[in-house]
Amino acid sequence: MAPGMCFPGCTLVPMDRFARWPAGMEAGDMSGGAAETREREQALQKAFSVASSIYRIRWTVDARKLKSTDREAASPTFELSCGCPMEFKMVIHPKKVEDTRGGASFKKAQGRGTVQLRMLTGADSSSNAVVTFRIAVGSATSKQQHPRGPVRHDFSERPICGLPEGKDEWDFQKSVDKATQTFVVCLEVLMGAGD
Least confident span in 21-30, 90-99, 144-153: 21-30
Return all residues near 104 (Cβ < 8 A) that are at least 6 apart: 71, 93, 94, 95, 96, 97, 98
Distance of alpha carbon 110 from alpha carbon 36, whole angstroms: 30
CB 159 within 8 A of CB 119: yes
- How far CA 143 is from CA of 136, 176, 189, in Å, comes to 11, 7, 22
Q: Are 86 and 125 in contact (CB under 8 A)?
A: no
pLDDT in tens, 105-137: 999 999 999 999 999 987 766 678 899 999 999
**What are the pLDDT digits (tens) for 69-80?**
999 999 999 999
Note the helical H segments in 21-156.
35-43, 106-109
Domain parsing of the chain, residue ranges:
3-190
Distance CA 112, CA 145 (A): 13
Tell me which residue of 126, 125, 93 sits closest to 109, measured CA to CA. Answer: 93
Least-confidence region, from 1-10, 32-41, 74-83, 92-101? 1-10
